[in-house]
């Protein structure tokens, strides 16, 4: 696939935010997504909202933020990929840095989760990213490409797998890397993907995440090898998320 053929993809990640009343944000987001024909849009919601969101906005792909790697079993409090698919999820995030930190998830766990999600029919956004200390030590590219190598699903292909690069120090902080650093990292991720999956790497989308908003999205989305965004805080309201969808359409 030619590099220019990758469609931009903007995914929201509501994290542990959102009650039933928040679903009123979905209609204007779905309308913007429907209008932006050159952009793929999705919203990854708390599990408790997935079924209602999928009903309320049938054209908008609704996703989860994690799944367990097992199909079922004695795993109190966990949710399997098949359970998420049954209530209407079409995708899931795996390996978000908050889960790597809070739940001590390993690259091996994340690989297993991605494979389980694919087996259940879900698309997957697989996250990677370095800490500030790792960047300051000059280890950012080595750490991120190692995460990708160790968590890449065996059957990875661009039709169901997307990578999200999220520098941990940029998440929720309002701090965004220099565009030259984003370009360097996304280029390094592309090269690592070529090592791992060959030509398929050129079709696989690599999203940027970390304090993306309506004010900086156009600049970030114009960076080479940035194929979209994974958006936390600015995805919680249509007012903030729709301008990012529009910026992606403008960058397409
Ligand atoms: P943020 O979060 O946009 O609020 O920085 C991004 C993410 O963690 O996915």
Output phi, psi for 195, to 5 deg: -60, -40
Is 166 assigned a catalytic role?
A: yes
0.75 cut: is pTM over it?
yes
Output phi, psi for 209, to 5 deg: -140, 145
Pocket test of ligand 1: the residue of 17, 162, 171 to mutate, having most ligand atoms within 8 Å of its CB, is 171
Catalytic residue among 96, 115, 130, 186: 96
Residues 6 or more apart whose Cβ sits within 8 Å of residue 93: 11, 13, 44, 63, 64, 65, 66, 124, 125, 127, 164, 230
Question: How distant, in Å, are the alpha carbons of 117, 146, 163, 204, 217 from that of 196?
Answer: 20, 11, 13, 12, 29
The Cα 181–Cα 90 span in angstroms is 32
Q: Which atom of ligand 1 is nearest to the CA of 164?
A: 9
Ligand 1 pocket member 210 (CB < 6 A): yes
Ligand 1 pocket member 123 (CB < 6 A): no
Other CB atoms within 10 Å distance of the CB of residue 214: 17
Residues of the chain below pLDDT 50: 1-3
Ligand 1 pocket member 231 (CB < 6 A): yes
Ligand 1 pocket member 147 (CB < 6 A): no
Residue closest by Cα to atom 6 of ligand 1: 232
pLDDT of residue 5: 77
Closest CA to 153 of 108, 120, 185: 108
Pocket test of ligand 1: the residue of 91, 99, 172 to mutate, having most ligand atoms within 8 Å of its CB, is 172
Q: Which atom of ligand 1 is nearest to the CA of 235?
A: 3
Residues 6 or more apart whose Cβ sits within 8 Å of residue 238: 25, 27, 28, 29, 32
CA of 213 to the centre of ligand 1 (A): 10
Other CB atoms within 10 Å distance of the CB of residue 16: 7
Residues 6 or more apart whose Cβ sits within 8 Å of residue 160: 118, 122, 123, 124
Is 96 assigned a catalytic role?
A: yes
Ligand 1 pocket member 124 (CB < 6 A): no
Ligand 1 pocket member 232 (CB < 6 A): yes
The Cα 185–Cα 203 span in angstroms is 17
DSSP 27-91: HHHHHHHHH-TTEEEEEE--HHHHHHHHHH-TTS-EEES--BSSSSSS-TT--BHHHHHHTT--E
Q: Which atom of ligand 1 is nearest to the CA of 213?
A: 3
């Amino acid at each position: 696939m030619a590099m220019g053929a990758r469609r931009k993809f903007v995914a929201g990640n509501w994290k542990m935010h959102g009650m039933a009343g928040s679903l009123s944000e979905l209609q204007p987001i779905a309308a913007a997504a429907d209008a932006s024909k050159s952009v793929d849009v999705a919203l990854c919601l708390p599990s408790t909202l997935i079924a209602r969101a999928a009903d309320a906005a049938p054209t908008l792909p609704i996703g989860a933020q994690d799944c367990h790697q097992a199909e079922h079993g004695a795993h109190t409090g966990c949710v399997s990929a098949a359970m998420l698919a049954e209530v209407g999820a079409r995708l899931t995030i795996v390996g978000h840095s908050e889960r790597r930190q809070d739940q001590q998830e390993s690259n091996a766990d994340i690989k297993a989760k991605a494979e389980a999600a694919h087996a259940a029919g879900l698309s997957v956004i697989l996250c990677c990213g370095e800490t500030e200390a790792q960047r300051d030590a000059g280890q950012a590219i080595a750490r991120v490409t190692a995460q990708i190598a160790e968590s890449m699903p065996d059957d990875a292909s661009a039709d169901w797998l997307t990578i999200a690069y999220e520098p941990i120090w940029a998440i929720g902080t309002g701090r965004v890397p220099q565009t030259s650093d984003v370009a360097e990292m996304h280029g390094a991720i592309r090269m690592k993907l070529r090592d791992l999956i060959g030509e398929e790497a050129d079709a696989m989308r690599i999203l940027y995440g970390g304090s993306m908003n309506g004010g900086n999205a156009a600049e970030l989305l114009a960076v080479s090898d940035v194929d979209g965004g994974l958006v936390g805080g600015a995805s919680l309201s249509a007012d903030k998320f729709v301008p990012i969808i529009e910026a992606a359409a403008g960058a397409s």
